[in-house]
């Protein structure tokens, strides 16, 4: 089966099935991804640091293993269970995880090309699941912006739905390449919404898993004081669940431990087949945490999804936890700034010379300087503030004594429709103003940081569109460790409000 005939709405699980059944080879799937990269990516600028030779070797090995396995149906079935994405091409985020033979730049001119000495545990698990990484996806410099416009790539990354608007960030290249069907699954990271924001902007699925559920070692123990997690952006809920099944579980020496994970894919498949999830109590947030209004289109989209969930038998209630947006964002910003400062200082020490002109963008310089201005005691004080706020959110979800707890919170991903390119370019040297000022990010993305602070799982689903036909992401956040429940409800919504046929025109242009 030529890849040109593969439906544009086919997800990664379907592609793996076609490869396993011999309708297309893993090598042909990779060739198609590379061809689409050559034809589409010049318009998007979503990918970088391609290494097709290494990927071709892996694809050829997979094809050989499938030739052998097809001689015995039981062996082929076992291979499919063990390697759910067998032969599926993918890309890893440039500011993300270590991978042998796949260098990264952190989206910055400062670092050059970082050649990793090994695969991270997460990449080991991805390779074991059959994924074939062939390059990196673009990110804002050091992942500290909600828009992917890093100067290191020679220009911004464009949204497949409209080249004049942002694809989101920081996993913007991943979301753009995925929406354009260059790949059918793409790795991202999320420290304050960096999977969910681009998923919302580009109309794909983006899950931030529970803290500690996905490994970050062995080169790192945590990211940004535990705010950061990694996962895949996907076209479908079943892909999201299958990727979590393949990667979940602590690695050796991990500083955080998520609750035992029983796996999500079976539950999601049952839901897709018509077995409904249990009724849930869901808090609806169609204002900011402070009660301030958000864009009417976005608020209306949240209320429409609330009505849908109500019709499916869930209990919906307007409610919000008693915390303010700035209470969350102010200490988080200091933690992020300290993480930025640590990375910059480490690189300057390694190379033994000071920062040169034009090696960092103005906002990154502002974050570096702000991080360096904080003491160790202040850093720990910010973490303590976040931990206290965690307790408030936790009680909001788990108020068992009064019977008023919630299983989920429904809210938007962004308070406004996707911003135009340039709106969040990193040219403001005042990092605090960039984030918290009158024109700052706090007014655009007040919702996603909540789950990073608490460690709870949260997902962006492409359930709505703006008056201009652009995606609006709807976010659901579950209790800590309840990723499987979150995915089951997401699958129910996908079945009732399917999005598979909602594809940007650029995807069909080749």
Tokens for 274, please give them. Answer: 């018509």
Which helix or strand (DSSP H or E) is residue 460 part of?
strand 458-465
Q: Of these residues, 170, 171, 445, 490, which one is catalytic?
A: 170
Contacts of 64 (CB under 8 A, 6+ apart): none
Residue 334 φ/ψ, nearest 5 degrees: -65, -40
**HEC sequence for 194-208:** CCHHHHHHHCCEEEE
Residue 258: name the closest of 210, 194, 322, 204 by CA: 210
- Clarify whether 170 is annotated catalytic: yes
Q: Is the separation of the CB atoms in 227 and 336 below 8 Å?
A: yes
Residue with tokens 């580009």: 202
Please tell me the distance from the alpha carbon of residue 463 to that of residue 461, in angstroms, as a whole number.
6
- Counting beta carbons within 10 angstroms of the beta carbon of residue 23, is it exposed (0 to 12), middle (13 to 18) or buried (19 or more)? middle
- Determine which helix (DSSP H) or strand (DSSP E) holds 494, and give its type and residue range: helix 483-496
Given CA atoms 510, 504, 2, 42 in this order, what sign does their dihedral have?
A: positive
What the block records as the tokens of 264 is: 């999500």
Q: Give the active site residue among 65, 145, 194, 490.
A: 194
Angle between helices 52-69 and 12-20 (to 10 degrees): 50
Instruction: Fill in the DSSP letter of residue 320.
Output: -
Q: Among 7, 40, 43, 39, which residue's Cα sits nearest to residue 23?
A: 7
Report residue 120 as tokens. Answer: 């991270």
Closest Cα to residue 157, out of 187, 201, 195?
A: 201
Catalytic residue among 93, 147, 166, 247: 93
- What is the secondary structure of 376-387 as a DSSP string? HHHHHHHHHHHH
43 catalytic per annotation: no
Q: How far apart are the first and last CA of the chain?
A: 17
User: Annotated active-site positions, please?
Assistant: 93, 170, 194
């Amino acid at each position: 089966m030529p890849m040109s005939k593969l439906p544009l709405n086919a997800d990664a699980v379907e592609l793996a099935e076609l490869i396993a059944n011999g309708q297309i080879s893993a090598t042909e799937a990779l060739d198609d991804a590379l061809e689409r990269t050559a034809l589409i990516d010049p318009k998007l600028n979503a990918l970088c640091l391609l290494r097709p030779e290494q990927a071709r070797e892996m694809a050829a090995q997979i094809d050989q293993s499938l030739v052998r396995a097809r001689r015995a149906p039981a062996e082929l079935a076992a291979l499919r269970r063990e390697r759910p994405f067998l032969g599926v091409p993918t890309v890893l985020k440039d500011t993300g995880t270590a991978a042998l033979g796949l260098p990264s730049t952190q989206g910055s001119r400062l670092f050059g090309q970082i050649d990793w000495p090994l695969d991270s545990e997460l990449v080991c698990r991805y390779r074991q699941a059959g994924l074939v990484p062939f390059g990196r996806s673009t990110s804002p410099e050091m992942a500290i912006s909600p828009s992917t416009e890093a100067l290191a790539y020679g220009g911004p990354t464009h949204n497949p739905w409209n080249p004049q608007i942002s694809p989101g960030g920081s996993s913007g290249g991943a979301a753009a390449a995925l929406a354009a069907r260059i790949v059918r699954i793409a790795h991202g990271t999320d420290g304050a919404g960096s999977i969910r924001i681009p998923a919302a902007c580009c109309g794909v699925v983006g899950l931030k898993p529970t803290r500690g559920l996905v490994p970050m070692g062995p080169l790192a123990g945590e990211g940004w004081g535990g705010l950061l997690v990694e996962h895949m952006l996907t076209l479908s809920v079943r892909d999201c669940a299958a990727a979590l099944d393949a990667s979940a579980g602590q690695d050796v020496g991990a500083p955080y431990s998520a609750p035992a994970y029983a796996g999500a894919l079976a539950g999601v498949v049952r839901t897709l087949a018509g077995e409904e999830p249990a009724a849930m109590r869901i808090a609806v947030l169609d204002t900011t945490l402070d009660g301030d209004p958000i864009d009417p289109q976005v608020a209306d989209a949240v209320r429409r999804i609330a009505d849908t969930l109500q019709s499916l038998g869930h209990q919906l209630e307007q409610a919000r936890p008693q915390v303010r947006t700035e209470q969350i964002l102010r200490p988080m910003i200091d933690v992020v700034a300290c993480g930025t400062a640590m990375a910059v200082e480490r690189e300057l020490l390694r190379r033994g010379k000071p920062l040169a002109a034009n090696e960092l963008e103005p906002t990154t310089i502002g974050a570096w300087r702000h991080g360096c201005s904080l003491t160790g005691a202040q850093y720990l004080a910010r973490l303590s503030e976040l931990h206290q706020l965690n307790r408030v959110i936790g009680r909001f979800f788990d108020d068992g004594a009064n019977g008023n707890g919630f299983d989920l919170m429904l809210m938007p991903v962004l308070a406004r429709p996707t911003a135009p390119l340039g709106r969040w370019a990193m040219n403001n040297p005042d990092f605090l103003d960039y984030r918290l000022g009158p024109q700052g990010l706090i007014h655009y993305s007040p919702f996603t940081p909540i789950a990073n602070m608490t460690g709870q799982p949260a997902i962006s689903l492409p359930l709505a569109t703006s008056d201009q036909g652009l995606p609006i992401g709807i976010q659901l956040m579950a209790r800590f460790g309840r990723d499987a429940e979150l995915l089951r409800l997401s699958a129910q919504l996908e079945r009732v409000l399917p999005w598979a046929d909602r594809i940007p025109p650029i995807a069909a242009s080749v």
